[in-house]
Amino acid sequence: MLFCLVSLVRERRRQRMATDPRLESYVASIIRAELDGEKFFVVAGSAAERELLLEAIYLVVSHTYGIPLSSFRELVRANRLGEFLMRRIAWSRGADRARWLLLSSVIPLREEHIARLKGYLHSGDSIVRSSALLALLSLQPSRALQTIVSLNYHLSPFDVVRIITLLRRGVMPIAYEPLLKSANRNVQMVGLAIVRSFGIDIAEKHLHAIISTTDDAALAREVIYTLSSLGRPLGREKVKTRLCGMTQAERRDLCRYLSVEGYSMAALRTLFTEQEIGLNESLIKSYKRDLICPQANF
Amino acid sequence: MEHKKIIIFSTTPHAVSLVKAAVCHSAADVECCSTCGAMIERCRCMSPDLIIILSVAPFVGGELSIERVRQLCVAPPAIYVIAWHQSESVVMGVLESGADQYMTFPISTLRLHNKAISHLRTNLR
């Protein structure tokens, strides 16, 4: 009962903050300062205002690129935002802690604070781990590879997508070759996500090299999906061998994915049986239609 | 030069404040709408010079048609779409349906500001 009440109060507080006019005012001030080439500075008078300030900075930094974190250094120091965040992270749990960790990813923290964030990288809670990883990658982009290599778990697709959003903000470099050649599975998964996300056709030979050499069936499957997203031919023997090693459900999923990606029925027939591609003809026809409705209903 | 009018449409309030701050200009009135119906109504009344839509959902769902929106206005406004979607089919669909610009988040606020201001300055009535 008490837990429900506390959760309800927290949720109401979060909803109130989302519509707080001070949040909009902070966001507007940050953007105006950036457009005018000045530094944004304000002194928060209370914990609520510090929280709003952090939310505003997170909103701006996560939706834009080109704003260096160092531009908030004076603001962080004057409002003691680093200490405020560390306290909040330590006192909270679960999704709350993950949220505070995400907020810490957009402000320049001192080295001792960053060192404390590393402790959450191996949390038992997956959402906390994911947010801590994002925070560390954002705050120390030059050590991104070391951070990913140090993980003792496999990155989930959700983690990989979040890392790609950091790349899109220009936080980390987009050098895919060393990632694909790495022996670390997590690093290779990030490399594959970069190839897929940026449509890097010339990575094809590296992808075939992974299919030929890896013992990890899940990784090989991910490579095949990456080749498909690039629209590359999948007729090589090694690819067909990997397909034979997949379960029926995996083959069906891949067949559906290839149909959506625009592979023709003739191409699918070289990889799958007639029974497997039987359902895909209608799917292909439906996906060849426009996704955007040209005529509106108003 | 008379005041230019900008409409920003988004179902979530957060991105609106960011984009509004980026395109705000002393010679432009900016209005924000959170529903398709409200946006269409404002287009009829205001006849904006620039419309910024922060989602592709209304296009995919069929609630919004760029052609019809332009017909509501005295002078056809420029339409910018800013969204997180990056898939080729969605982006091409939005551009082929008549949007003038498609930008993906994360955006450069300076670039958006300059584009908007440049468009408003060149479209003198």
DSSP assignment of A229-240, as one string? HTT----SHHHH
A236 pLDDT more than 50? yes
**pLDDT single digits (tens) B1-51:** 467 899 999 988 778 889 999 988 666 889 999 888 888 899 888 889 999
Where does the pLDDT of residue A170 fall: very low under 50, low under 70, confident under 90, or very high at 90 and above?
confident
pLDDT of residue A294: 52
A18 pLDDT more than 70? no
Where does the pLDDT of residue A298 fall: very low under 50, low under 70, confident under 90, or very high at 90 and above?
very low
Q: Could you give the strand order of the β-sheet that contains B4-9, starting from the edge strand earlier in sequence?
A: B28-33, B4-9, B50-53, B78-83, B101-104
Angle at A36 between CA B11 and CA B102, to 5 degrees: 40
| Partner A contacted by B113 (CB < 8 A) | yes
CA torsion sign for A103, A108, A111, A113 is negative
CA distance, residue A213 to nearest chain B CA (Å): 31
The contacts of residue B68 (CB under 8 Å, 6+ apart) are A296, A298
Read out DSSP for B66-120? HHHHHHHSSSPPEEEEEES---HHHHHHHHHTT-SEEEESSB-HHHHHHHHHHHH
* CA atoms of A263 and A284, how far apart (whole Å): 9
- A247, two tokens: 């379960």
Q: What is the mean pLDDT of residues B94-118?
A: 90
**pLDDT single digits (tens) A83-97:** 999 999 999 999 999
A184 half-sphere exposure, CB direction, 13 A CA radius: 17
What is the residue-averaged pLDDT of chain B?
A: 85
Looking at the DSSP bridge assignments, the partners of residue B104 are B83
pLDDT of residue A297: 47
Q: Which of B7, B1, B27 minimizes the C-alpha distance to B124? A: B1
Task: Specify the amino acid at residue A254.
Answer: L
| Partner A contacted by B22 (CB < 8 A) | yes
Nearest CA in chain B to A60: B18
Q: Could you tell me whether strands B78-83 and B50-53 are parallel, antiparallel, or unpaired per DSSP bridges?
A: parallel
Predicted complex ipTM: 0.88
CA distance, residue B16 to nearest chain A CA (Å): 9
Q: Read off the pTM.
A: 0.84
